[in-house]
């Protein structure tokens, strides 16, 4: 049974606080139900902030490009025809590395960037006109008493956005195949589809699938159905799986690790990353799920 004092504290929208002998009245309720943390999960780095004057000047410099991007969005809205989108057997290129500007869409990180290990990674243009993701992964970690396992490197796209810095997502719902033309070193890489949600518990939702490379001088074309991707959060595969929400993809990337003694150099050359609609593939989700009791939580 709730007491009157509890009811008043829970529902009274006015909160009076005393500070230096003065009373301040807040006209909005204070909600402490959820714990909000930064999206980088502890990896947030303090960077020097520009002055307000510099921010205004930089804003005017970017205004022309933002208006140009907005015009392109309006043009695509009126010219897009959903009938022409479904072209079975044709691959629509999403990412390639035909010029230097294509590298600006990607962010490369490793454990060394966070002072957790000694792995290094780079992304640059190759001599054959592709993107070369290479470096060295090392499982030797920093002995600070906190870090237990390390040895990873990754590359992923920046957050896709519309004009005037509006965040948005990739909409790949009209496709069912991921097509990659790559040339690797025989290692296994992990393909990552990030689907950041609105709430903090969904910021680390990622869908994975393995990319097996043959090694050698020849290119390989890998076609991977989106139905094969499995769901994880913070590196843990979830008990309750679900299909990839293809209209909510925020980032795309690759990662490589030094697990099971696979320390050393790595090289993954990427010609293009594309999408395809295959009418013969009708599988919606590859993993069978079972009904569990209500008191069993997925972790």
> Diameter of the chain by CA atoms?
76
Question: Is 12 or 126 the better-scoring residue by pLDDT?
Answer: 126
Q: Rounded distance, CA 185 to CA 211, Å?
A: 12
Mean pLDDT of the chain: 81
Q: Helix, strand, or coil here: 4?
A: helix
Find the range with the poorest average confidence among 78-92, 194-208, 264-278. Answer: 78-92
pLDDT of residue 235: 82
Q: Is 165 helix (H, G, I), strand (E, B) or coil?
A: helix
In the chain, what percentage of residues exceed pLDDT 90?
40
Identify the CA nearest to 193 among candidates 212, 220, 213, 173.
173
CB 134 within 8 A of CB 121: yes
- Encode pLDDT of 17-36 as tens digits: 334 444 444 444 444 445 55
The two tokens of residue 77 are 């809205």
The model's pLDDT over 152-182, given as tens digits with 9 standing for 90+, comes to: 999 999 998 888 888 889 989 989 999 999 9
Torsional sign, CA 151, 155, 159, 164: positive
Q: How far apart are CA 115 and CA 179, in angstroms?
A: 35
Domain 83-277 listed as CATH 1.10.1740.10: no
Q: Which tops the pLDDT comparison, 250 or 13? A: 250
Phi-psi region of 164 (alpha: psi -120 to 50; beta: other; left: phi over 0): left
- β-pair partners for 259: none
228-249 pLDDT, tens digit each: 999 998 888 888 889 999 999 9
| Residue whose C-alpha is closest to residue 117's, from 96, 89, 148, 92 | 148
Block residue for tokens 């930064």: 38
Q: Look up residue 48 and give its DSSP letter.
A: P
Domain boundaries, the chain: 52-81, 83-277
Give the pTM: 0.77
- Is the CB of residue 251 less than 8 Å from the CB of residue 194? yes
């Amino acid at each position: 049974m709730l007491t009157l004092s509890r009811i008043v504290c829970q529902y009274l929208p006015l909160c009076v606080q005393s500070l230096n002998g003065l009373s301040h009245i807040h006209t909005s309720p204070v909600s402490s139900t959820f714990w909000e943390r930064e999206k980088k999960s502890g990896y947030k780095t303090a960077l020097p902030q520009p002055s307000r004057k510099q921010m205004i000047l930089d804003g005017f410099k970017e205004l022309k490009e933002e208006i140009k991007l907005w015009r392109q969005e309006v043009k695509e809205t009126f010219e897009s025809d959903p009938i022409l989108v479904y072209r079975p057997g044709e691959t629509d290129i999403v990412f390639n590395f035909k010029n230097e500007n294509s590298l600006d869409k990607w962010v490369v990180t490793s454990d060394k960037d966070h002072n957790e290990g000694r792995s290094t990674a780079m992304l640059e243009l190759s001599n054959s006109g592709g993107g070369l993701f290479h470096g060295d992964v090392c499982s030797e970690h920093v002995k600070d008493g906190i870090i237990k396992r390390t040895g990873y490197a990754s590359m992923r796209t920046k957050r896709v956005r519309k004009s005037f810095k509006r965040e948005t997502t990739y909409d790949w719902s009209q496709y069912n195949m991921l097509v990659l033309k790559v040339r690797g070193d025989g290692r296994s890489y992990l393909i990552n589809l990030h689907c950041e949600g609105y709430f903090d518990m969904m910021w680390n939702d990622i869908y994975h699938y393995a990319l097996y490379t043959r090694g050698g001088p020849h290119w390989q074309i890998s076609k991977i159905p989106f139905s094969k991707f499995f769901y994880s959060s913070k590196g843990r595969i979830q008990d309750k799986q679900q299909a990839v929400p293809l209209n909510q993809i925020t980032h795309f990337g690759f990662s490589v690790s030094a697990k099971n003694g696979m320390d050393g150099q790595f090289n993954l050359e990427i010609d293009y990353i594309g999408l395809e609609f295959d009418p013969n593939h009708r599988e919606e989700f590859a993993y069978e799920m079972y009904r569990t009791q209500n008191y069993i939580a997925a972790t």
